[in-house]
Structure 1
Amino acid sequence: MQDFNGKVALITGAASGIGYAIAEVLGESGAALSLVDIEAGALAKVEHEFLARGWSVLSQTADVSSFDAVHAAVKSTVHRFGRIDIICNNAGVGLEGPVESWTDAGWSWVLGVNLMGVVNGVRAATPFFKAQNSGHILNVASIGGLTAAANHGQYGASKFAVVGLSQSLRDELAPHGVGVTVLCPGFVKSRIATSARNAPGDLPARQAWLMETGFTGPAKELFQMIERRVDTGLDARAVGEMALRGLRTNAFIVLTEREFLPDIERRQKAVAKAIAVLGQWPTQPQAQAQTHG
C-alpha cells in the first residue's frame, strides 16, 4: 500500500504510545482515522488534537478483548467513512512474574487483550477487506514474540502467538489482496509498564504489590530493568514511522533495533541444532532383533 491518502485506518490502543504514533503518521499521510482505546479521557484528548489538525477522525471506546465491541467499532468505521483499508491491532498489556505469581485472571487478561484483541480485529475487518479485494492488517507484537525472557511467560506466550497468527494470515489472505505485517518493537517509551492500571478485579493491586514487595532476585531485577529501558527506549514516533514503511513495502516482520538480534540468533541456532540431530535419527522404526532359544 503505497498511498495512504483517502484511506481509512482503524487503530486500537490509539490514545498513547505506539498506537498514537501510528495514528499520527497515518493522519499526516492523508488517512482518515478511527481511534479505539479503553481509556475514554485519554482518547478524547487525542481526538481533539487530531481534529484540530484538520484530519477526519472518529473515536470509540472499546475493550478489544470483546469481539462484539471490536466488531461494532469496525462497523461504525465503515458506516462513517464508507470503507476500511487498514486495521492496526496495537492494544496490548504487560503482566510479568514467575510461575508462582500466575493466576487464571492474569492469564485471561493478558491473552484476552494481547492475543484475542488481535484475533477480534482480524475477524471483524477481514470480511470487509475480502469484499473490496484490498486491505492491510498491521499486528503489533513485540521482540518478545521472537525471543523469550525469564519471568515473562504470560507476555511472551501472547506475543509469540501473534507472530504465528500473522504468518498464517499472511499466506491465507494474500490471494484476496490483503497484506499482513507484524511489528516487533523492542523497548519503546510508552505506558505499557503501567498497563495493569486497566486490568479487571484485583489485578492492579496485586501487580502493584508484586512489583513493590513480592518479587526478589532475578524477577525483581528484570522488572527494574524493564522500567528503566521503557523510560529510555525508542521514541514511539520513530516506531510509528517504521510501521508505516512496513505497510508501504508489505513487509512481513518489522523490527525496530538490532539489540536483540543475538537472542533471536540463539533461538535459530537451537532450531538448526535440532534439525541436525533429527538427521541422525532413523526415519523408520527399527525392528527389534529376536532371538530363538
Structure 2
Amino acid sequence: MNLSNRVAVITGAGSGIGRATALTMARRGCHLALADIDEAGALDTARTAQTLGVRATAHRLDVADRAAVAAFPEIVRKAHQRVDLLMNNAGVALGGTFEQVSEGDFDWLMEINFHGVVRMTRAFLPLLHGSDDARIVNVSSIYGIITPPGQAAYSASKFAVRGFSNVLRHELEGSTVGVSVVHPGGVATSIAKNARVPAGAPGDEIARGRKTMEKLLRMPPEQAGEIIVRGIEKRQARILVGSDAKAAAVLERLAPVGYWNLLKKAIKR
C-alpha cells in the first residue's frame, strides 16, 4: 500500500503509538485526521506532522461517545474530502483481577477499547468503500494473544478486537478494504502509569504491578510506529510488534494452555 497522498484517520493520536505511527505516516506523505480525547496532544502531533509537509487536522474525540463518533466522518470528509485508512488505536488500561474490578470499571474499559473500535469502523466504512485502496488497522495487544492474571478486562477487550478484526477481514474479502490487526508487545508508552486501578486494591500490590509492567515496556514508540507502518505497506493481516509479541505468539500456538507456566519463569528472571 502506497501511503503517499492518502488520508489516514488515527485515534489516540496525541501520544504513544498513535503519535509515533502518525508521524511515520507523515514522513511517507500521508495526510492525517488526528483524534484524541486529549485535544492538546492531538494538536501537537498535527503541528509536528505539518512540518513534514502534509495536511494534518486535530480533533477532540471520545470514542465512547456514540453521537460524536457518528458525526466524525462528515467532519473528516469536509476537511480532507476522503479517507483511505482508519487506525483504531485509542485505548485505556485497567489493572486488577476479575474479582477486584467493579462492573462499572469493566464496562468503562470495554466501551473504549472494544466498542470504540466497532463504532469507529461502522462510522467510517462507507467512506473507506469509496477509496480504491483502503485499510482498517485495529490495535490489539500482546494481551490479545496471551492472558496474564490481573488483566481480565484489558485482555478480554483486546481478544475482542482481534476476533472482530479477523471476522471483518473475511467479510470484506473481495472489496477494496483490507484489515490489519496489530499486537504490540512492550512499547514504552504511559498506558501502565495511567492505568485505572480498582478501589480498595492494596497499594503495595498496585506498585508491584506497575513496576513489573514498566520493566516490560522497553521498545521506543517511534520504532513501534515504523514496524506498524511497514506492516500496513505490506498489507499484513497480522502485525506483531516486538520480539516479545512474536515469542508470545509462538508459545501460545505451541502450548495454548501451558504457556503461562513458561512465561511466569521468564518474567521472574
If the TM-score is normalised by the length of the shorter chain, which range does it land in? Answer: 0.7 to 0.9
Equivalent residue letter for 1:83: R
Q: Does 1:234 align with 2:233?
A: no
Q: How does 1:149-164 map to 2 (within 5 A)?
A: 149-164=148-163
Q: How does 1:14-163 map to 2 (within 5 A)?
A: 14-163=13-162
Aligned CA RMSD, in angstroms, stands at: 2.2
Preserved contact between residue 109 and residue 154 of structure 2 (Cα < 8 Å): yes
Size of the alignment, in residue pairs?
A: 258
1:271 and 1:160 map into 2 onto residues whose CA distance is 14
Q: How far does residue 71 in structure 1 lie from its aligned partner after superposition?
A: 2.8
2:216 and 2:257 map into 1 onto residues whose CA distance is 31
1:57 and 1:272 map into 2 onto residues whose CA distance is 45
Call closer, same or farther: CA 1:30–1:156 in 2, change over 3 Å. Answer: same
Preserved contact between residue 102 and residue 198 of structure 2 (Cα < 8 Å): no
1:51 and 1:263 map into 2 onto residues whose CA distance is 37
Indicate the residue corresponding to 2:252 in structure 1: 267
User: Per-residue CA shift, 1:60-84, capped at 9, x if unaligned?
Assistant: 1010112322232222111111100
Give the TM-score of the pair, scaled to structure 1: 0.81
Preserved contact between residue 22 and residue 237 of structure 1 (Cα < 8 Å): yes
Q: How does 1:141-290 map to 2 (within 5 A)?
A: 141-196=140-195, 207=198, 210=201, 213-214=202-203, 216=205, 221-230=208-217, 233-270=218-255
1:64 and 1:75 map into 2 onto residues whose CA distance is 15
Moved more, 144-153 or 44-53: 44-53
Give the TM-score of the pair, scaled to structure 2: 0.88
Preserved contact between residue 9 and residue 84 of structure 1 (Cα < 8 Å): yes
Preserved contact between residue 84 and residue 129 of structure 1 (Cα < 8 Å): yes
Indicate the residue corresponding to 2:266 in structure 1: none
Say which SS state the counterpart of residue 216 (structure 2) adopts: helix
1:30 and 1:71 map into 2 onto residues whose CA distance is 28
Call closer, same or farther: CA 1:116–1:195 in 2, change over 3 Å. Answer: farther
User: Per-residue CA shift, 1:111-154, capped at 9, x if unaligned?
Assistant: 01110111112111111122345310011110110111011111
- Which ranges of structure 2 fall in alignment gaps of 5 or more residues? 259-269
Q: How far does residue 268 in structure 1 lie from its aligned partner after superposition?
A: 2.4
Preserved contact between residue 78 and residue 84 of structure 1 (Cα < 8 Å): yes
- Which ranges of structure 1 fall in alignment gaps of 5 or more residues? 197-203, 274-293
1:24 and 1:264 map into 2 onto residues whose CA distance is 28
Preserved contact between residue 26 and residue 52 of structure 2 (Cα < 8 Å): no
1:83 and 1:70 map into 2 onto residues whose CA distance is 17
1:87 and 1:189 map into 2 onto residues whose CA distance is 23
2:209 and 2:86 map into 1 onto residues whose CA distance is 33
Equivalent residue letter for 2:227: M
Call closer, same or farther: CA 1:261–1:45 in 2, change over 3 Å. Answer: closer
Q: How far does residue 221 in structure 1 lie from its aligned partner after superposition?
A: 3.9
Equivalent residue letter for 1:223: R
Equivalent residue letter for 1:18: I
User: Per-residue CA shift, 1:27-56, capped at 9, x if unaligned?
Assistant: 111111000000122222222322334320
Say which SS state the counterpart of residue 130 (structure 2) adopts: helix
Say which SS state the counterpart of residue 137 (structure 2) adopts: strand
Indicate the residue corresponding to 1:280 in structure 2: none
Preserved contact between residue 186 and residue 242 of structure 2 (Cα < 8 Å): no
Call closer, same or farther: CA 1:243–1:265 in 2, change over 3 Å. Answer: closer
Preserved contact between residue 10 and residue 88 of structure 1 (Cα < 8 Å): yes
Q: How far does residue 101 in structure 1 lie from its aligned partner after superposition?
A: 1.5
Preserved contact between residue 87 and residue 137 of structure 1 (Cα < 8 Å): yes
- The structure with the largest helix share of the pair is 1
